[in-house]
Chains A and B, each alone.
Chain A
Amino acid sequence: DAKTTQPPSMDCAEGRAANLPCNHSTISGNEYVYWYRQIHSQGPQYIIHGLKNNETNEMASLIITEDRKSSTLILPHATLRDTAVYYCIVRVAGGNNRLAFGKGNQVVVIP
């Protein structure tokens, strides 16, 4: 699986949009971009994934650049409950491949 690079930490203002970047310059054509988050002392939670088109669900939006070498997860209106470690992962969808977590981005939403 391709490696990803995320900032180790960032702060976001409550009520504002939070833009979380991820670089994955070695991504292969059949690899998807997945985002998970882990709130303190809980299990990781799936957020969203995409291949090349932008995706949106009730939790977030995923913007993938045209060359697919980077992506941005957007939390439209950050709340204090969004404080978590966010993981950007690239892997082949389907099958039962290993899902490998990188170091993630510790996001703190500030009142």
Chain B
Amino acid sequence: DTEVTQTPKHLVMGMTNKKSLKCEQHMGHRAMYWYKQKAKKPPELMFVYSYEKLSINESVPSRFSPECPNSSLLNLHLHALQPEDSALYLCASSGSAGGTNTGELFFGEGSRLTVL
């Protein structure tokens, strides 16, 4: 299984809603990532989890709250978002627990978020 699965594929929410994006991988990877991508722009790194601990936060506003319940799951909790937060949110994973880490990232297909 070489897939990173993201749900939902599409999400529409109001500025007062609370919602979550979910990401799952079963490749034994120990690092997981959240990226944000606006239209016609490259992906921008938001968070990195390594061995279930937050290792990188790229100064992301607190209305985005990541969570890594276990080594296979990564969530992104959303609260009080703004319309400018509308984007494609990409999850990725890398690194094997016991093997050679060649640094490749495996990406999911993304969750397209629209904030009204």
A interface residues (Cβ-Cβ under 8 A, vs B) = 32, 34, 36, 38, 42-46, 49, 85, 87, 91-104
Contacts and interface: CB of A to CB of B under 8 A. Distances in A.
A103 B42 contact: yes
Given A87-B42, A103-B42, A96 B104 contact: no
Interface of B: 4, 30-31, 33, 42-45, 48, 50, 55-56, 58, 90, 92, 94-95, 101-110
A96 B110 contact: no
Contacts of B90: 43-44
Given A43-B4, A101-B42, 13 more contacts: A34-B103, A44-B92, A46-B104, A93-B101, A93-B102, A95-B101, A96-B30, A96-B55, A97-B103, A98-B48, A98-B56, A98-B58, A101-B43
Given A96-B31, A96-B48, A96-B55, A46 B105 contact: yes
A106 B87 CA distance: 20
Contacts of A45: 107
Q: Which of A38, A43, A100 has the most CB of B within 10 A?
A: A43
A43 B31 contact: no
Q: Which of B44, B58, B106, B107 has the most CB of A within 10 A?
A: B107
Nearest to B110: A43
A27 to B, nearest CB: 15
Nearest to B41: A103
Q: Which of B45, B90, B105 has the most CB of A within 10 A?
A: B105
A43 B94 CA distance: 14
A99 B101 contact: no
A34 B106 CA distance: 13
A49 B105 CA distance: 11
Contacts of A93: 101-103
Contacts of B31: 96
8 contacts: A34-B104, A43-B4, A44-B90, A49-B103, A93-B101, A95-B103, A97-B103, A99-B45
Contacts of A99: 33, 45, 92, 103, 105
